[in-house]
Amino acid sequence: MQKKNAMQVEEPQRLFDCLAYQLRNFPQEDMLSAKEEGAWRKYSTQEVYDKVNQVSAGLLTLGISANDNTAEGRDKIAIISQNCPEWMLVDMAIQQTGAVSVPVYPNINDSELQFILQDAGIKVAFVGDASLYEKLQHIRGGLPDLHTVYTFNPVLGAKSWTELLVELSPETQQRVNRHRDAVKETDLATILYTSGTTGTPKGVMLSHYNIIHNVFGSAKVIEEIGVRGKRALSFLPLNHAFERMATYCYFYCGVSIYYAEGMEKIGENLREVKPTLFTTVPRLLEKVYEGIVAKGSALTGTKKKLFFWALGLAEQFEINKPLPLSYRLQLALADRLIFSKWREALGGELKAVITGAAACQVRLLKIFTAAGIVIQEGYGLTEASPIISGNRYSEQNRMFGTVGPLLENVEVKIADDGEILCKGPNVMMGYYRRPDLTAEVMEGEWLRTGDIGTMIDGKFLKITDRKKELFKTSGGKYVAPQPIENKMLESTWIEQIMVVGELQKYVGAVIVPAFHALKDWFEKRGLPYPGDAAVAEDTQVRALIKEAINQYNQHFNPVEQVKRFVLMPHHWTISGGELTPTLKLKRKVIMEKYGDMIGSMYR
């Protein structure tokens, strides 16, 4: 396809082309929206387009540019902020100059933040608020390349991003156009540093070509839902490859994006925004479910019985197989009495939730789907821009327990050792300044995902474990911890779990009890809650958890069954270092940090 002026593109070639594409084909009054002083502030497509060009002009005035067009030569600009419209305005403005955006998790620790900003050679940074500004000031002495910091929210003594909103004279606009038109689809668009479950962050280099092909493939997935002119709620961090790509997919498909005020306000925002879909990670879906169950548990008498009858019915739900008439009649009754209220609590118009980044419990998939909310579980990794496969909205292209059919133009093959290898236009350019690490994961054009999996019926990809997380017992048997953990998490009493047993006689588990559920358990028995630390030592609590483990152990071979466990007196958190920003376990950190506790199971 020949290069055209940005306002004349037929199909986007570069990420920022999605903006011009929307403006030309289906401009919206609420392309981006966020709460300001208690009311939704809406940005139209035209306003977004104008502001992106203004910020591009402002950056060019600062001297930001593509320089020599190599990955190292291009100027790098960091975005460290919670989700907001300004985040995306700046992201597209950076791209139009030929520079590279480097998004960073706002909850990252200081040492990792300093490493990323140093490694990328960040020249300019955009931060969300005063706390992030202070965080950056604290480490600024070690960042010789960083010369300017702008804030999205007003911060005393700091430069505001609005200072870059340059008035667009014909000459200024022409300058922006020249730089924008010089950007090729194969150019580096962004560097995403993966926190990883071990080791130092790696900078994944993704081109416009990588991400835009993922956008096209993902658009076919969400267009099945009927999303044109509908709304999506956004709350996963925008620096997460999943949410960032989804955002450009929304632009391309004509979906309005509303940014949640924060994790604690998601329920309220869902009811206000009434989205048709949103993206999430399984842990947040679990929390939504736990909230629903907590409300059900607070009911009394017949209402409570009806609630749990409906829940039990939903757990038996299946797709792609005929369900007995008696079951379907009961489900219709449950829908009228119970599930319709669930949907109303989630805004009333929610048709689908797309989940990724970690495995989702099949039980949750069944329950939500039975309740009329389709959960589309997908799979990918940052190095694949990020989607490799995804369950579709149509039932014939969905299968519980799998991550769905492959995305268009993506190929997968299973290596002899079971590892999933991926090839396609979505595969990264490589790791920034680390050709050695790039060589470790690339086998020709094939990306080694590090995940173990198989194809079901030649159509559905199923993930069975992480290659690096497999461990061998002292008896020489390999154990895959993830399926065991996912099954155990179905228990009411287990909040977090890590299965261990490398070179040991048997499998053990480190468990964080579900303290909120146990608090209710104590209260129902008229007992004072002794506190989280005391609960972890309580013999009755151990008995409850042991009973749950014994129940779920039946699903596994004897060598995979959890024989002993220890209880943690507190949650694992991102700030504590046990979880990545996408809520995955940092197994190495947990093993080192709680080595004595783990060792006690084997002494």
For residue 297, give the amino acid letter: S
In the three-class reduction of DSSP (H, G, I as helix; E, B as strand; rest coil), residue 23 is classed as helix
Q: Do 459 and 324 reside in the same domain of the chain?
A: yes
**Residue 423, H or E segment:** strand 419-423
Mean pLDDT over residues 119-129, rounded? 97
pLDDT band at 478 (very low <50, low <70, confident <90, very high): confident
Is the separation of the CB atoms in 522 and 528 below 8 Å?
Answer: yes
Predicted local distance difference test score (pLDDT) of residue 1: 39
Comparing CA positions, the residue from 48, 496, 40, 512 lying closest to residue 265 is 40
Q: Is the pLDDT of residue 410 over 60?
A: yes
Q: Do 433 and 291 reside in the same domain of the chain?
A: yes
Over residues 329-384, the pLDDT tens digits come to 999 999 999 999 999 999 999 999 999 887 888 999 999 999 999 999 999 999 99
Residue 146 to residue 142: CA distance in whole angstroms: 9
pLDDT band at 7 (very low <50, low <70, confident <90, very high): very low
Does residue 1 lie in a domain region? no
Over residues 431-444, the pLDDT tens digits come to 999 999 999 999 99
Q: Do 488 and 511 reside in the same domain of the chain?
A: yes
Predicted local distance difference test score (pLDDT) of residue 3: 42
DSSP code for 499: E
Is the separation of the CB atoms in 66 and 292 below 8 Å?
Answer: no
Does residue 267 lie in a domain region? no
Does residue 508 lie in a domain region? yes
Strands 32-36 and 256-259: parallel
**Residue 272, H or E segment:** helix 266-273
Q: Do 83 and 111 reside in the same domain of the chain?
A: yes
Q: Do 125 and 50 reside in the same domain of the chain?
A: yes
Predicted local distance difference test score (pLDDT) of residue 2: 40
Over residues 152-166, the pLDDT tens digits come to 999 999 999 999 999
Domain count of the fold of the chain:
3
- In this structure, how many other beta carbons lie within 10 angstroms of the beta carbon of residue 373? 18
Q: Do 495 and 446 reside in the same domain of the chain?
A: no
* Structural domain boundaries, residue 237: 6-35+43-259
Predicted local distance difference test score (pLDDT) of residue 25: 95
Q: What is the mean pLDDT of the chain?
A: 93
Rounded alpha-carbon distances, angstroms, from residue 88 to 43, 57, 84, 120, 238: 12, 16, 7, 20, 8
Over residues 202-211, the pLDDT tens digits come to 999 999 999 9
Looking at 425, 449, 467, which one is the last position of a domain?
Answer: 467
Does residue 416 lie in a domain region? yes
Comparing CA positions, the residue from 277, 282, 284, 299 lying closest to residue 346 is 277
Which residues share a beta bridge with 513? Answer: 494
- 510-514, long-range: CB within 8 Å, 24+ apart, which pairs? 510/565, 510/566, 510/568, 510/590, 510/594, 510/597, 510/598, 511/545, 511/565, 511/566, 511/567, 511/568, 512/567, 512/568, 512/570, 512/571, 512/572, 513/541, 513/545, 513/567, 513/568
Q: Is the pLDDT of residue 6 over 70?
A: no
Q: Is the pLDDT of residue 5 over 50?
A: no
pLDDT band at 195 (very low <50, low <70, confident <90, very high): low
pLDDT band at 271 (very low <50, low <70, confident <90, very high): very high
Q: Do 450 and 481 reside in the same domain of the chain?
A: no
What's the full length of the chain, in residues? 603
Mean pLDDT over residues 55-64, rounded? 97
Predicted local distance difference test score (pLDDT) of residue 196: 56
What CATH number corresponds to the domain at position 499?
3.30.300.30
Q: Do 291 and 417 reside in the same domain of the chain?
A: yes
Q: Do 188 and 206 reside in the same domain of the chain?
A: yes
**pTM of the entire predicted model:** 0.85
In the three-class reduction of DSSP (H, G, I as helix; E, B as strand; rest coil), residue 359 is classed as coil
